Structure 1
Amino acid sequence: MEFNELDEDRESAGGGGGGGGGFMPDDDDSSSASSVSSTGTVIPSPARALFARPRGFPGGRSLDPIPWTTYFERELFLPSETDPGTIHHAYLTSPVAAGPLFVMHHGAGSSGLSFAVLSAEIRKRLPTAGILAPDARGHGSTATTDPDLSLATLAADLRAVILLTQTAMAWPALPPIILVGHSLGGAVVTDLACAGTLGPPLLGYAVLDVVEGSAMDALQSMQTYLSTRPKGFASLRDGIEWHVRSRTLRNSVSARTSVPALLVERGGDGDDDSAGAGAAARRCRWRTDLAATQPFWEGWFVGLSGKFLRGKGGKLLLLAGTDRLDTELTIGQMQGKYALQVFPEAGHFIHEDLPEKTAVALVDFYRRNDRSALVLPPKVSELLAQGKRV
């Protein structure tokens, strides 16, 4: 097992809103707040410092990429113990002392860097927290010869990455774990949590903007979306700009960190550029072929709501609007089976659009489920042994 570690301290980067980017449209989706009507739903009040940006990087209208080293302590390359053709890649900041480990799983087409800015915001509020953000197979820098992206495989991969990280870092035991998954990642962490294979270290799991009903509906238009998306970009900066202009990502600081991992630069290293201006105009292509994952789409989300409600441990659902709730989750929420927060000003990438508010929700969720904070009354046998009357 190998890892690259930084010797120097890294500046943490905050972020919310549109700090650092001049391409943010003036319109917003605040009108969607009228859809927030579920019983017990928490609508966070506006937070301060949403427009902070990483220190040491160009501000203003800059769309230059921000390196992963700004947010994470090291990257890990973890050879699979069951699949010789797979080397898992993950970004890690280790927990301190008895701090928790937030294990993040990204959505389809994204990478572990989707959680970069969020990780900094979590550690601002909980300095002992660790963050583990792997790239799923077929995404980011994870290398594999197996194209299987079924839910069972992805959940097994996530468990393997957690255990391989424990071995690589020589942790005597797993720290307390909070699983966090966005979109497809929400289905993965729910499947892993429901299986119960992580045992007592798992305190709970949080799912970001995905529920079974709306996810299944969205799959019907997925091919249409992919056909209208640019096939590539002339540069990484152009790719970042498109994500912000199209409001795919509404936080330019996060886009500058996460988008470069979604693209592969071609040309200049022996690649054939003879295709002419068309190829040159699309020098940066998508790293993950989302259209090729279609055979797995339905299997990712079928039964998600039921599994989410059945799993052991604390449960948190963060949504961009309660219109995304399906019937099963609406009933479960009214019965108090999980915590729900709604951020109507965010898009689908809640954790990238509003990393500060998402961090507040996740840290509060951890604290509510932190077993070390429980103070249990003494047992009767202990009191008798001490000679006390009961």
Structure 2
Amino acid sequence: MEPAPLSSLQEKEGEPAGEDSSSAFSAAAVPPRPATHSHSLHKYAPLDWSDYFDEERRVAIPGTDDVFNVYTAGSEGPVVFCLHGGGYSGLSFALAASRMKNKTRVVAMDLRGHGKSTTSDDLDLSIDTLTNDVIAVIRTMYGESPPAIILVGHSMGGSVAVHVAARKEIHNLHGLVVIDVVEGTAMASLVHMQKILANRAQHFPSIEKAIEWSVKGGPLRNIDSARVSIPSTLKYNESQGCYTYRTPLEETEKYWKGWYEGLSDKFLSCPVQKILLLAGTDRLDRFVISEFEKFSILLSMATVLGHKEGSYLDEEDVPEEFASHILNFISRNKIGPNGVEIPGLVKKWGR
């Protein structure tokens, strides 16, 4: 269902062509009608966002027609502001949010053209527009005096997080976490994107079937995560009588290069504490390796904790470990609601 990040472009062994999970993309939006259930598909029945988040908010941007859907969890601590990959939705972070919300606040935004967000131009996925959207949402939610914020972004969302941090317009920004995207490998994979998108399963008779495909033929390995996040990546096509992707990523090709061009330099120059979560060292381009001492590189759970081969969606597939790394990052850098250490966060790295 959701191809994995652009930075990870290896086909899974033994799978037919067209079911490659390793692009920077994935699909996104909540269908307007419930799916039919059958006994055989019960294990793929959708799960509600409210099992993981505390609230769903509609953030209207003043002076525009743009309204962004945002999921929130937790009431204390700094804000972990999460940005999903292309075609995903904020619900990609659902399982991780439920594991972090007792120690920190979690906000997961549906980006433009994804999930339940609605804008005047849903196809404008240029990096400047996406960056402006995130800054506008944060300002609308918190004004000019926000609590301490840690930006967390996966793939395309990671690029947006870097650009937001590089703009230096968010007051009290204390951290940056980028998941599974590095400029070199991302740029090299762009030539394959249209083929990968075209070869995906395109139509699903039910939401359950889409969830099943995402686990068996797509990038996800955690069934519970698929059950909560996949419905938000779909829309119901009345004329065809089936579910299709909410986000037509194939129509946004002109913006892809802009997501990743110059990303390494921007990441390294961001004046906040930062960390890069990767599925393996093979995704480090030469520039980043040469500047290794300037930031922390933590190999993601795929390498350190050995989750299943072919899986790249760390926040979805291993939410416990992902949440632990985020909380440790906050503790290690003593990030609290007002830039002070949070009592009770355990300082432990790895297992």
TM-score, length basis structure 2: 0.80
State how far apart, in whole Å, the 2-side matches of 1:231 and 1:144 are. Answer: 24
Is 1:154 the counterpart of 2:130? The answer is yes
State how far apart, in whole Å, the 2-side matches of 1:320 and 1:247 are. Answer: 17
Contact 2:59 2:69 in 1 (8 A): yes
Larger Rg: 1
State how far apart, in whole Å, the 2-side matches of 1:115 and 1:214 are. Answer: 24
State how far apart, in whole Å, the 2-side matches of 1:205 and 1:350 are. Answer: 16
* TM alignment of 1:143-222, pairs within 5 A: 143-146=118-121, 147-166=123-142, 173-199=145-171, 201-222=172-193
Q: Percent identity?
A: 37
1:338-373: CA deviations, max 9, x gaps? 332232335221111111111111100011122413
Q: Which residue of 2 aligns with 1:64?
A: 45
Which of 75, 78, 84 aligns to 2:56? It is 75
The range that moved more, 147-156 or 175-184, is 147-156
Q: Return structure 1 stretches of 4+ with deviation > 4 angstroms.
A: none
TM-score, length basis structure 1: 0.72
State how far apart, in whole Å, the 2-side matches of 1:247 and 1:233 are. Answer: 13
Is 1:241 the counterpart of 2:221? The answer is no
Q: Which residue of 2 aligns with 1:303?
A: 262
The range that moved more, 363-372 or 135-144, is 363-372
Q: Which residues of structure 2 form unaligned runs of 5+?
A: 1-11, 15-38, 343-351
Matched residue of 2:44: which SS?
coil
The range that moved more, 147-156 or 107-116, is 147-156
State how far apart, in whole Å, the 2-side matches of 1:64 and 1:246 are. Answer: 17
RMSD, matched Cα: 2.2
Q: How many residues align?
A: 295
Which of 70, 89, 111 aligns to 2:69? It is 89
Matched residue of 1:221: which SS?
helix
Matched residue of 1:75: which SS?
strand
Which of 99, 105, 111 aligns to 1:130? It is 105
1:196-215: CA deviations, max 9, x gaps? 1112x111100000000111
| 1:87 maps to amino acid | V
Q: Which residue of 1 aligns with 2:222?
A: 251
Q: Which residue of 1 aligns with 2:96?
A: 118
| 2:147 maps to amino acid | P
Contact 1:332 1:338 in 2 (8 A): no
State how far apart, in whole Å, the 1-side matches of 2:111 and 2:218 are. Answer: 24
Contact 2:90 2:110 in 1 (8 A): yes
* TM alignment of 1:283-294, pairs within 5 A: 283-294=242-253
| 2:315 maps to amino acid | H
State how far apart, in whole Å, the 2-side matches of 1:291 and 1:211 are. Answer: 21
Q: Which residues of structure 1 form unaligned runs of 5+?
A: 1-24, 28-57, 273-278, 375-390
Q: Which residue of 2 aligns with 1:8?
A: none
Contact 1:309 1:338 in 2 (8 A): no
Q: Which residue of 2 aligns with 1:363?
A: 327
